Amino acid sequence: IVGLIESGAVDMVVNTPKGQGARADGYSIRAATTSANKPMITTVQELQAAVQALEAQLRGPFKVRSLQEHNA
């Protein structure tokens, strides 16, 4: 996986490691992703938010609002 990231074959990384072995691999994957300046998602919650953002973008143009407008 690290080789694919370093070669530029990967555009975004989703890495949610579990266990000791996965943590060591996860470190290498995160380091390669950061060096390649690629986006990285490390939790299921982040992945859900990213999917929701992509779905919203596919639905069409959206309006930019201030936080005050959003909470009004």
pLDDT digit string, tens, across residues 18-52: 777 667 788 899 999 999 999 999 999 999 999 99
Diameter of the chain measured on Cα atoms: 49
Which of 4-8, 29-33, 57-61 bottoms out in mean pLDDT, i.e. has the lowest? 57-61
pTM: 0.70
- Report d(CA 1, CA 32) in Å as an integer: 9
Two structure tokens written together for 24:
């060591």
Spell out a b/e string for 21-55, using b for 16 or more CB atoms within 10 Å of the CB, else e.
eeeeebeebbebbeebeeebbbeeeeeeeeeeeee
- Report d(CA 69, CA 72) in Å as an integer: 5
